[in-house]
Amino acid sequence: MPGVDVRLVDVVKRFGETLAVDHVNLEVQDGEFFSLLGPSGCGKTTTLRMIGGFEEPTSGLIELQGQDVTWLPPYKRNVNTVFQNYALFPHLTVYENVAFGLKRRGGLKDGEIKSRVGEMLKLVELPGFDKRKPNQISGGQAQRVALARALINRPAVLLLDEPLGALDLKLRKQMQVELKRIQQEVGITFIYVTHDQEEAMTMSDRIAVMNRGSYEQLGDPESLYERPTTRFVAGFLGVSNLLPGTADGTAGAYAVIRLADNTRVRVPAALVNGNHNVEVGIRPEKIRLANPDSAASPETNQMRGVIKDASYIGVSTQYIVESRGGSQLTVYEQNVERATRAELWAPGEEVALSWTPEHTFVIKDTTPHDADN
Amino acid sequence: MSGAAIAVAAPSRRGWRQRLTGATPYLLLAPGLLWLVVFFIWPTIQMFLMSLSSGSLDDGFKLTWSIDAYQTAFGKFPKQMGNSLLYGGLATIFDFLIGFPVAYTVAFRGGRYKNLLLFLVIAPFFTSFLIRTISWKTLLGDEGPVLGFLKHALGVVPADFTVIGTPIAVVAGLTYNFLPFMILPLYVALEKIDPRLIEAANDLYANRWAAFRRVTFPLALPGVFAGSILTFIPALGDYVNATLLGNPQTQMIGNVIQGRFLVQNDYPVAAALSFILMAAILIAVTIYARLLGTEQLTG
């Protein structure tokens, strides 16, 4: 049973009038790949910087492996950081950059430092780069050096602040796979800050989705995607169709929700949890489109609508469908059965939408918009 | 139709433009080069020829390829040469010791007062160099605000203590006059340092002092180099501070050159002294660059 590596208790950070981090409570498990995901200004980087010791919290407690480190300076914490834009020392060689931490901490013979640097450069696939200066290597290589420079110290936790942000898309995808490999190889806890939901989903064991200084939902990528509980999470991770409705009894293991156009849909009862006004959510790729005359399975949730727009994007086709209640739904259909453009649904055609109740999620938060209903 | 016309016209026009584009760097350099040729290279050659001439202002100087002037220059003024190196060197060191903390504070802690602080650094330039040096005479005078206070109010200094006319006054004047030339390059070098590099050093177990020694200072070296050269070279050749704040014993090489040129009209020796000074500066700068590590500077 892995222990808790990093614990944040009621951490608050104010910059003057602005509340950057608002009472965050977090527990990151030992050996976990944990991501803080959110838009810019959501407080994710400030949270990371407080764990690293670069900012002091206004109030709250930060524990590292059970030890209170809230007021310790960065050089006294067993934590290392991979900075955004790498922050490699431009006057030092790759070797000296990677050896920097070991030399400062002391207690190691030159020979051992040398063999550990060699080992580390091999791990990040940069053997033989020892003598280069940071301005003589590419962005991707600089990224690896920054990683090696941090990992060589065998910290309890590695903090990564949007480390792939400066790389182009192809290199970024490659580095995502590699980061995950390295993390599994060294078994160190990673706390990863990003605004890229796909990046977070690809690598993380768990993700905290942050908004306005605190996280709205915390969980593994699958549960965040399949069962978002707030409007923000539903919209930030992928695309969601949200339909307002009210609870209207139960049907077996399902709760029944009556939507604005009086359509009744079923959702897993546990998700409703006694709320009356809710929003029902459904991901665009989970909706099937069919001819309205064809018989649909009674197990599914169903709606009628009219195609408003169809955009062919190769692997799939994106439809905008307007329901009879007036809400617009986005639907993705893989181009398998209807593979040519002539076979696609055309704007103006009437369709039946269906999806299984298990794919339906429920937004519980009541934003002002919901309160109006 | 129009396509054909363009096809015909394009090659010649492109050729002309290409030639102009190729010449652009030279055209941009031309005014500066011309200026240097007329006002630096030509006088330098003339000066060099003068240092190998003999004669007097009344009879005219003739190029005799004689090295008498160099022998005189080397033989007669070792004290002034030594004073120049000593005072110039001390002023440079003091400027560094005073200037680095100032530049560091403005660069890293200046915040929104950065520009105001920099303005204050260069504010003395709005007054004449001579007037500022003369005012130091008053400042350091026997009954001036500094000594007067120390003598009468605090009584920590004997009544006959004097600063004006001593090397202390000359070095103080030089230090004061060239301080901005040290601060500005240091500021530029320090300001360029990404604060995240210092955070990275802290992250890698370097405390504040280690981060300064291993990261901040090495990255500021180009500024240290530029600042000390901009201070040392003019301080070495200066004669105003020694004239106004010193005595005959504190004369610097600049005083000798000035005297030979303008008072004694001994042009060959004055020219030879100027060349020796130039050579000394070049050698000193080369050694200095080696010591600091040119790799670090260009790195």
Per residue in B223-273, pLDDT (tens digit) is: 999 999 999 999 998 999 999 999 988 999 999 999 999 999 899 999 999
Q: How confident is the model at residue A373 (pLDDT cuts 50, 70, 90)?
A: very low
Q: Which residues of A touch B111 (CB under 8 A)?
A: none
Q: Is B202 on the interface with A (CB under 8 A)?
A: yes
Give the CATH fold of the B72-297 domain: MetI-like fold (1.10.3720)
Q: Which residues of B touch A75 (CB under 8 A)?
A: 202-207
State yes or no: pLDDT of A151 exceeds 80. yes
Give the pLDDT confidence score for residue B185 in this predicted structure: 96
Q: How far apart are CA A43 and CA A71, in angstroms?
A: 19
State yes or no: pLDDT of A168 exceeds 50. yes
Who has greater pLDDT, A249 or A134?
A134
Give the pLDDT confidence score for residue A224 in this predicted structure: 95
| Contact across the interface for B197 and A87, Cβ inside 8 Å | yes
Give the pLDDT confidence score for residue B12 in this predicted structure: 57
Look at A46-60, B204-218, B228-242, B282-296 and tell me which has the smallest mean pLDDT: B282-296
State yes or no: pLDDT of A38 exceeds 80. yes
Give the pLDDT confidence score for residue B2 in this predicted structure: 44
Min Cα distance A131 → chain B (Å) is: 13
| Residues within 8 A of A (CB atoms), B 255-274 only | none
Q: Is B200 on the interface with A (CB under 8 A)?
A: yes
Nearest to A133 among B197, B203, B299 (CB): B299
- Which of A7, A10, A58 minimizes the C-alpha distance to A214? A10
* Percent of chain B whose pLDDT exceeds 90: 59
Min Cα distance A69 → chain B (Å) is: 14
Give the pLDDT confidence score for residue B157 in this predicted structure: 83
Torsion of CA B103, A135, A196, A369, to 10 degrees: 30
Min Cα distance B289 → chain A (Å) is: 16
Min Cα distance B195 → chain A (Å) is: 9
State yes or no: pLDDT of B48 exceeds 80. yes
Mean pLDDT of all residues in B281-299:
74
Mean pLDDT of all residues in A114-134:
92
State yes or no: pLDDT of A369 exceeds 60. no
ipTM metric: 0.83
| Contact across the interface for B204 and A100, Cβ inside 8 Å | yes
- pLDDT 10s digits, A228-254: 999 999 999 989 999 988 888 888 888
Give the pLDDT confidence score for residue B5 in this predicted structure: 44
Q: How confident is the model at residue A24 (pLDDT cuts 50, 70, 90)?
A: very high
State yes or no: pLDDT of B39 exceeds 90. yes
| Contact across the interface for B203 and A75, Cβ inside 8 Å | yes
| Residues within 8 A of A (CB atoms), B 38-67 only | none
Give the pLDDT confidence score for residue A321 in this predicted structure: 95
Q: How confident is the model at residue A324 (pLDDT cuts 50, 70, 90)?
A: confident
Q: Which residues of A touch B205 (CB under 8 A)?
A: 75, 101, 104-105, 153
Residues 6+ apart with CB under 8 A from B288: B225, B228, B229
| Contact across the interface for A73 and B207, Cβ inside 8 Å | yes
Q: Is the dihedral of CA B65, B66, B67, B70 positive or negative?
A: negative
Mean pLDDT of all residues in A143-163:
94
Q: Which residues of A touch B219 (CB under 8 A)?
A: 90-91
Give the pLDDT confidence score for residue A365 in this predicted structure: 56
Q: Is the dihedral of CA B243, B247, B250, B255 positive or negative?
A: positive
Give the pLDDT confidence score for residue B8 in this predicted structure: 47
Who has greater pLDDT, A272 or B200?
B200
Q: How far apart are CA B22 and CA B14, in angstroms?
A: 12
| Contact across the interface for B199 and A75, Cβ inside 8 Å | no
Tell me which long-range contacts B243-247 makes (C-beta under 8 A, separation of at least 24): B244/B133, B244/B134, B244/B136, B244/B137, B244/B173, B245/B133, B245/B136, B245/B137, B245/B140, B245/B164, B245/B165, B245/B169, B245/B170, B245/B172, B245/B173, B246/B165, B246/B166, B246/B167, B246/B169, B246/B170, B247/B165, B247/B166
Q: Which residues of B touch A153 (CB under 8 A)?
A: 204-205
- pTM for this predicted structure: 0.81
Min Cα distance B25 → chain A (Å) is: 27
Q: How far apart are CA B212 and CA B223, in angstroms?
A: 15
Name the closest residue on chain A to residue B296, using Cα atoms.
A91
| Contact across the interface for B199 and A90, Cβ inside 8 Å | no
Name the closest residue on chain A to residue B195, using Cα atoms.
A87
Q: How confident is the model at residue A314 (pLDDT cuts 50, 70, 90)?
A: confident
Min Cα distance A270 → chain B (Å) is: 46
Q: Which residues of A touch B210 (CB under 8 A)?
A: 104
- pLDDT 10s digits, A341-356: 677 888 999 999 999 9
Q: Which helix (H) or strand (E) holds A331?
A: strand A328-334
Mean pLDDT of all residues in A70-81:
95
- What's chain B's average pLDDT? 88
| Contact across the interface for B199 and A91, Cβ inside 8 Å | no
- pLDDT 10s digits, B103-123: 999 999 988 999 999 999 999
Name the closest residue on chain B to residue A148, using Cα atoms.
B204
Give the pLDDT confidence score for residue A112 in this predicted structure: 94
What are the tokens at A302? 């169903």
Q: Which residues of B touch A149 (CB under 8 A)?
A: 204
- pLDDT 10s digits, B2-35: 444 444 444 556 677 777 788 888 889 999 999 9
Q: Is B194 on the interface with A (CB under 8 A)?
A: yes
| Contact across the interface for B202 and A75, Cβ inside 8 Å | yes
State yes or no: pLDDT of A115 exceeds 90. yes
Domain ranges of chain B: 3-51, 72-297
- pLDDT 10s digits, A253-267: 888 999 888 888 999
Look at A53-57, A105-109, A209-213 and tell me which has the smallest mean pLDDT: A105-109
Min Cα distance A100 → chain B (Å) is: 7
